[in-house]
Amino acid sequence: MNINEIHTLLLENFGETVVGPAPQKATDPWIEVAADSIREVATFVRDHEQLRLDHLNDLCGVDYLELDPKKAKKFEHEPHLEVVYQLSSTSLKHRLKLKVILPRWENDTAGSLPTCPSVSSVWGIANWHERECYDLMGIQFEGHPNHRRILCPEDWQGHALRKDYEFPLEYHGVRGR
Amino acid sequence: MSMQIEDPRVVEFDVQTDEMLVNMGPQHPSTHGVLRLLLRTDGEIVHECTPHIGYLHRCAEKIGENLAAPQWIPYTDRMDYLAAMNMNLGFALAVEKLVDMEVPEKALHLRVLIAELGRIASHLVGMGAYGLDLGTFSPFLYAFREREIILDLFEEACGARLTCSYLTPGGATHDLPEEIEIPDGLAAIAGFVPGERYPFVEVIEMFLQWLEKRIREYHILLTRNAIFIKRTAGIGVLDPETAVSYGCTGPVLRGSGVDYDLRRDGESIYTGMYADYDFDVISAPFKDAPPEVRLGDNWCRFYVRMLEVVQAIGLVRQAIPKYLAAEGSHRAPFRLNTKLPKDEVYLETECPRGQMGFYIIGDGNAEPLRVRAKSSCFCNLSVTDILCEGVPLADVPSVVGSLDIVMGEIDR
């Protein structure tokens, strides 16, 4: 199935409140999904007979923020976070990209991390990918069985792939800069 | 401890096994780098195996946000340092897909040739190191002897042996050399006169002919060895559903019987390279497997790699005449200040260890807004917990070794 057919199928089953507008023209087009319903949509695309997207290739977070004032003029995006799900089907050999849009901070309060439902019950590998996403991008995954950092030490401060992350000056007596 | 044991023999009858936490690694020879496994054991039996990773983490993705695309190529070398060429290729293709550029035909065949040589080198290490994990030393030495010659060839092609940075967006940094001095290692083992000069592709063919005969020996030493079969067959069985759900790829996925190889099933920019090549996707079950073998066990994963070496030899042989016949340049120019379009691409390629994915988001500058390296070993390692449940402690290296992980790629 191509992306437009999948979009129509998702619209029929979930409606406009969950599924975003028709895919834009892009090299790899994607479908936006409302954060609250991502787990239901994930289960649907995995189990639907014509989709069978059983393989989660990648799950990662993206931070849309431009701090450089020179580049900011040309920057088209409002500051926000995205969680990107790259899916493929081992039997039907097609691909799909889903996106969940999240605010950079919950309720616009700096320091309070946004939350997205976990899909680790749908694809096993999401467990580790979501831990990495939490570790580096600072997105919390609700319902995750083991919500801890994975690459950085557990007492690490901040989330390194955020654009406004500041490298610590000191960590347990090790000088940072 | 008030109880007094008078007869020392009583202790032997009264051995109580208790749950115990055992740390394996991060400095353990059979963890293939700095992997720490936290094992919850009851006597000899492992009940839980939790991998702790991140010892090599240097946030290469953050570094990539501050570099132009070709400048990040050396960082991909250092992820999977045993298959640097394949990593270069994956990222170069992703960049080409983003900027929508055509690569000259000569570069395509050069890339197949180099990437498949890289696959042979990587699988040789996988094979040798796996033997080492299971306590046999000689296959390791043989594997490294053979790999050395491939590294010599890489050195002649691009100047570097391990961190090659050879395949870049647009093609390759240099064309293959026309004529080289035969590598000393090859001259010594295959009976050529050291210092004599031959055409580069002829040296490759001389090496392949010599390597081909050695494969039989590896099968005698490992694949068909009774001890090796006892240590691998029926252990660490990964069923296909779990393999797919946990995102396992490459030999781990195909060893579980899922017929999926990106060189055939991937995106057109990648499969196009292999369009004129004749090869089969190798996946379990195998008809010639010993009777103890079960689908998806350690032996199957190992055997997939062995057969892929033979297959890669065939692909290199097919690439040589195609490369020689192709005319024109080995690269299309790609400048450092090339602006990346406001678009995003995700591309996975079939690296020796599995499907390595690169996700690049451009925002109109030369530096991408985000680069993401999805590691194949990261996903393959995530099944260790499942595979190691209930196995004896001595089989943990056997299971982890069969996944053939490289920590540089997992931690990035």
CA B192 to chain centre: 31
Number of domains in chain A: 1
pLDDT of residue A66: 86
Mean predicted confidence (pLDDT) in B238-255: 91
- Judged against a pLDDT cut of 70, whether residue B5 lies above it is answered with no
List pLDDT tens digits, range B257-291. Answer: 898 989 888 888 899 889 889 888 888 888 888 88
**pLDDT band (50, 70, 90) for residue B307:** very high
Where do the structural domains in chain B lie, given as residue ranges? 9-411
The band of B334, judged by pLDDT with boundaries at 50, 70 and 90, is confident
Supply the range of the domain harboring residue A61.
3-175
Q: Helix, strand, or coil here: B378?
A: helix
- Cis peptide upstream of residue A114 (ω within 30 degrees of 0): no
C-alpha to C-alpha distance for A102 and A25, rounded to whole angstroms: 22
- A57: nearest CA partner in chain B: B247
The token duo for A41 is 């949509």
For the domain made up of B9-411, the CATH class stated in words is mainly alpha
Q: What residues of chain B, 58 to 97, have a C-beta less than 8 Å from chain A? A: 59, 61-62, 97
Q: In the prediction, which pLDDT does B1 show?
A: 44
Q: State how far residue B362 is from chain A, nearest Cα, in angstroms.
A: 11
Question: Quick check: B10 pLDDT over 70?
Answer: no
User: E-strand spans in B32-118?
Assistant: 36-42, 45-52
Asked whether the beta carbons of residue A55 and residue B246 sit closer than 8 angstroms, the reply is: no
| CB < 8 Å to B412, chain A | 151
pLDDT, greater one: A15 or A56: A56
For residue A169, what pLDDT is reported?
87
Alpha carbon distance B159, B148 (integer Å): 14
Least-confidence region, from B77-91, B109-123, B188-202:
B188-202
Residue of B nearest to A70 (CA): B365
**CA distances, B69 to each of A161, B3, B98 (Å):** 18, 70, 11
Residue A113 amino acid letter: L
Q: Is the pLDDT of residue B3 over 80?
A: no
CA–CA dist A129, A123 (Å, integer)? 10
B50-73 pLDDT, tens digit per residue, is: 999 988 898 899 999 999 989 999
Task: Report the range of poorest mean pLDDT among A69-78, B207-216, B297-306.
Answer: A69-78
**CA B303, B317, B187: angle at the middle one, nearest 5?**
90
Residue among A55, A58, A127 minimizing CB distance to B346:
A58
Question: Cβ separation of B245 and A127 shorter than 8 Å?
Answer: no
Residue B17 confidence class, pLDDT cut points 50, 70, 90: low
**Quick one: which of B336, B330, B338 has its CA closest to B70?**
B336
CATH of the domain at A20: 3.30.460.80
Mean pLDDT (chain B, rounded): 88
Cβ pair A153:B359 closer than 8 A: no
CB of B264 within 8 Å of a chain A CB? The answer is: no
Task: Give bridge partners of residue B358 from the DSSP assignment.
Answer: B347, B373
Element (H, E) at B358: strand B354-361
In the structure, what pLDDT confidence band is assigned to residue A69 with cuts at 50, 70 and 90? Answer: confident
Please tell me whether residue B282 adopts helix, strand or coil conformation. coil
Average pLDDT over residues A44-70: 89
Tell me the pLDDT tens digit for each residue of B349-388. 999 999 999 999 998 888 899 999 999 999 999 999 899 8
Instruction: Using a pLDDT cut of 70, give the percent of chain B over it.
Output: 95
Among B2-16, B119-133, B337-351, B377-391, the least confident range: B2-16
pLDDT at A28: 85
Sign of the CA dihedral B182, B186, B192, B195? Answer: positive
pLDDT of residue B93: 92
Asked if omega into B26 is within 30° of 0 (cis), the reply is: yes
Task: Give the span between the Cα atoms of B196 and B184, in whole angstroms.
Answer: 10
| Region A85-100 average pLDDT | 90
Q: How close B250 gets to chain A, by Cα (Å)?
A: 12
State the ipTM, two decimals: 0.90
CA distances from B12 to A46, B6, B8 (A): 54, 13, 8
Percent of chain A topping pLDDT 90: 32
Burial of A145 (0-12, 13-18, 19+ CB in 10 A): exposed
Q: Band the pLDDT of B314: cuts 50, 70, 90.
A: very high
Instruction: Kindly determine whether residue B258 and residue A90, on different chains, have CB atoms separated by under 8 Å.
Output: yes
Q: Which has the closest alpha carbon to B351: B146, B176, B94?
A: B94
What is the arithmetic mean of pLDDT over B391-406? 89
Rounded CA gap, B347 and B94, in Å? 6
Q: What percent of chain B has pLDDT over 90?
A: 35
Name the residue of chain B whose CA is nearest to A119's CA. B245
